[in-house]
C-alpha cells in the first residue's frame, strides 16, 4: 500500500479529526470592485498603477459614455425609478412619452455633472399602459427604454 492510499483508507471525520489549524494570515485576496464594469464595459480606470491581482487596475471608475438603465420596478404602480450615468458634464433631458408619442412628463431638464443619477416618476395621474422614457445627453444619440404601468 502506498502512503496516499493508506491516508484515504484511514480517513476519519468529525470535529476533532483531520482539522487544520487556522492560519494567521488569510492566503486569498479579493479582487477590487470595478465600478460600472457590469454596464456594458463602460469603465475608465483613473489610476495607472496595477493592483497585482490579475493585471487589473484599482481606482475610482466612471462610465466612459452615458448609459440609461431599465426602470425599477417594472411593471410598476404608481412610481418607478430610472437610473442613468454620465461620463462628463452635459445638458440632460429625461422625458416620458405614451404609446402614441405624446409627452406625459419631464423628469430632468438641465445641465448635470458626470456621475450617476436617479429620477423618480410618479405616474398616479396617467392611465395604465406602456410608456417610453428617453434620455438625451448633449448631442449624442438618445437612448430609449420601455416602462409598463399597471394599475
Decide if 36 is inside a domain: yes
Spatial CB neighbours of 1, under 8 Å, sequence gap ≥ 6: 9
Quote the domain boundaries for residue 41.
Answer: 31-63
DSSP type of residue 16: T
Omega before residue 27 within 30° of 0, cis:
no
Full-model pTM:
0.59
Q: What are phi and psi of 52, to 5 degrees?
A: 90, 0
- pLDDT computed for residue 87 by the predictor: 87
- Could you tell me if 49 and 91 lie in one domain? no
pLDDT at residue 54 tops 50: no
Question: Residue 61's pLDDT band (boundaries 50, 70, 90)?
Answer: very low
Q: Are 62 and 39 in contact (CB under 8 A)?
A: no
Number of domains in the chain: 2
Decide if 55 is inside a domain: yes
pLDDT tens track for 122-135: 999 999 999 999 99
- pLDDT computed for residue 104 by the predictor: 96
Lowest pLDDT segment from 57-61, 89-93, 102-106, 135-139: 57-61
Q: What is the CATH number of the domain that holds 105?
A: 2.60.40.1930
Spatial CB neighbours of 103, under 8 Å, sequence gap ≥ 6: 95, 96, 97
- Could you tell me if 59 and 71 lie in one domain? no
Amino acid at each position: 500500500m502506498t502512503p496516499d492510499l493508506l491516508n484515504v483508507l484511514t480517513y476519519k471525520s468529525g470535529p476533532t479529526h483531520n482539522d487544520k489549524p487556522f492560519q494567521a494570515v488569510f492566503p486569498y485576496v479579493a479582487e477590487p470592485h470595478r465600478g460600472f464594469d457590469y454596464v456594458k464595459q463602460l469603465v475608465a480606470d483613473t489610476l495607472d498603477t496595477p493592483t497585482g491581482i490579475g493585471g487589473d487596475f484599482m481606482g475610482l471608475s466612471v462610465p466612459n459614455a452615458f448609459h440609461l438603465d431599465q426602470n425599477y420596478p417594472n411593471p410598476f404602480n404608481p412610481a418607478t425609478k430610472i437610473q442613468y450615468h454620465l461620463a462628463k458634464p452635459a445638458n440632460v433631458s429625461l422625458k416620458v412619452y405614451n404609446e402614441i408619442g405624446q409627452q406625459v412628463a419631464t423628469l430632468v431638464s438641465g445641465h448635470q455633472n458626470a456621475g450617476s443619477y436617479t429620477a423618480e416618476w410618479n405616474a398616479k395621474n396617467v392611465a395604465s399602459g406602456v410608456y417610453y422614457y428617453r434620455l438625451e445627453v448633449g448631442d449624442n444619440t438618445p437612448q430609449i427604454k420601455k416602462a409598463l404601468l399597471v394599475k
